[in-house]
Amino acid sequence: MSQTPTADQLRNRLVDGILSEHDLPSDVEQAMRTVPRDTFLPGIDLKNAYTDQAVTIKDNPGQPLPLSCASVPSVVATMLGQLTARPGDNVLEIGAGTGYNAALLAELVGGDRDGRVTTVDIDSDVALHARTTLNTAGYEHVTVIERNGLLGAHEHAPYDRIIATVGIWDIPATWWDQLADGGRLVLPLRWRGQTRSVALTRQGNQLVSDGMELCGFVPVIGQNGEQTAPLNTADTLRLHYDQDQTIAANALTHTLRADNPAREVLSAQRIGGEESFDGVWLRASAHDDRVCRLEATPEAMEQALIRRPATPARTPALIDDASLAYLTVTREDADPQRPFRLGATAYGQRGEELARDLVAHIDAWGAARLAVPRLTITPSDTGDAPGHTISKPETRMTLTY
């Protein structure tokens, strides 16, 4: 009869599985093998605590996303790898969650021996949970502050490293003030409907990226730059966009009627079944201010309200007044290695033009599928850097390939 695996065995299996898919620095690997994730998830089955999945710790009634959760361990590991925290560093974490990430950070910086970790959360229950679990696991030296994370924690600034574990739409000026020159900021940054974990280094009045990874996080409380508009009366088709974009939601509602024919434009790009194509979205947002996110709920898909969206819950689209084109994936058996073909489906008077523009973005991605743009972020009161700029209230984002 086989024995039930211990927490240590499950934790090592989890880390082994992450290493099979991701390259991790040795210090991050050691931290993840050391910190007991189950301690930070009391009441959760031990096996589930060591599965590579998110775990909700506080629901958000009436909202589609939880108020707080334990992030997917492989994403946690990736972001810690991006952060490159070193022994002796002073680190600020925005979003305390379960306290697990703060414990990992404490291992990386040396805990109360050398480094310092401060974690901030706006929700009193979440902050209390983090304080309690950190104490239980032996990380009493981590500072937990109940506060709006957008304000940071000036008491212990300047910080060598700042990491956010909530989705951030615009980087607040307070973080600039609290991050040392030469310091690193890693955050799930949101723009044009997508979220990327971006690693940035402060160089004077600039933050310059050296890497970004696809991710998904609960958005921070207090930033309202992202808007949502229903595209049908049943609210099963939705458009997500940024506040600097002008969206004629009512006109689009009429455009997407069942009696309004759709047109399809195919690209030359094919993909395999496991091949990521999220770089199309990234490429488009680096050149085009019309990029939004189209969401089709399961009900919309069951009723076939739209055809073959690339990913129903999150498909990139181009919008111009009452016209729309979105990314599609069509199965074709001509190439068994890459049986899926990317294209665009169009609605509205200018739909075909938008579809052709989207296909141009697809083909540009296809020519360099692994290319990642450099992101430069400056305060909003400074001049634009060369490249395509997205303006937000507190910052300007410039993307260049």
Helices (H), 22-168: 26-34, 46-49, 73-83, 100-109, 124-136
**Pair (288, 319) in one structural domain:** yes
Separation of alpha carbons 125 and 128, rounded Å: 5
Does residue 17 lie in a domain region?
yes
**Pair (293, 323) in one structural domain:** yes
Q: How many domains does the chain have?
A: 2
**Pair (127, 196) in one structural domain:** yes
Rg (CA), the chain: 22
Assign 3-class secondary structure to 203-259.
ECCEEEEEEEEECCCCECCCCCCEEEEECCCCCCEEEEEECCCCCCHHHHHHHCCCC
Separation of alpha carbons 114 and 294, rounded Å: 47
Q: Which residues are catalytic?
A: 71
Does residue 328 lie in a domain region?
yes
**Pair (210, 235) in one structural domain:** no
3-class secondary-structure state, position 394: coil
**Residue 66: predicted pLDDT:** 44
> Which two tokens mark 21?
């898919």
Does residue 1 lie in a domain region?
no
Does residue 392 lie in a domain region?
no
Going by the DSSP 8-state scheme, the letter that residue 148 receives in this structure is: -
**Pair (244, 334) in one structural domain:** yes
- Burial of residue 266 (CB within 10 Å: 0-12, 13-18, 19+) is middle
Separation of alpha carbons 117 and 143, rounded Å: 6
Pair type for strands 116-121 and 143-146: parallel
**Pair (202, 230) in one structural domain:** no
Measuring CA to CA, which residue among 201, 341, 203, 211 is closest to residue 267? 341
**Pair (57, 194) in one structural domain:** yes
**Pair (192, 244) in one structural domain:** no
Domain CATH number, residue 102: 3.40.50.150
Q: Where in 10-99 does DSSP place strands (E)?
A: 55-58, 68-70, 90-94
Does residue 262 lie in a domain region?
yes
**Residue 65: predicted pLDDT:** 45
3-class secondary-structure state, position 164: strand
**Pair (167, 235) in one structural domain:** no
Note down pLDDT in tens along the chain; length 401 residues.
Answer: 568 899 999 999 999 999 999 999 999 999 999 999 999 998 889 999 999 988 876 544 454 544 456 789 999 999 999 999 999 999 999 999 999 999 999 999 995 568 999 999 999 999 999 999 999 999 999 999 999 999 999 999 999 999 999 999 999 999 999 999 999 999 999 999 999 999 999 999 999 999 999 988 888 888 989 999 999 889 999 999 999 998 888 888 888 776 678 899 999 999 998 889 999 999 999 999 999 999 999 999 998 888 889 999 999 999 998 899 999 999 987 788 899 999 999 999 999 999 999 999 999 999 999 999 999 999 998 866 677 899 999 999 999 99
Enclosing domain of residue 137? 7-214
**Pair (313, 344) in one structural domain:** yes
Is residue 232 within 8 Å of residue 253, measured between CB atoms? Answer: yes
Does residue 358 lie in a domain region?
yes
**Residue 111: predicted pLDDT:** 56
Does residue 2 lie in a domain region?
no
Beta strands across the sheet bearing 395-400: 143-146, 116-121, 90-94, 159-164, 179-191, 194-203, 206-214, 374-379, 395-400, 388-391
Separation of alpha carbons 370 and 244, rounded Å: 29
Is residue 393 within 8 Å of residue 381, measured between CB atoms? Answer: no
**Pair (68, 172) in one structural domain:** yes
**Pair (158, 210) in one structural domain:** yes
Amino acid identity at 48:
N
Does residue 380 lie in a domain region?
no
- Cα within 13 Å of Cα(229), Cβ side: 17
The dihedral built from the CA positions of residue 277, 278, 283 and 285, taken in this order, carries a sign that is positive
Separation of alpha carbons 239 and 324, rounded Å: 11
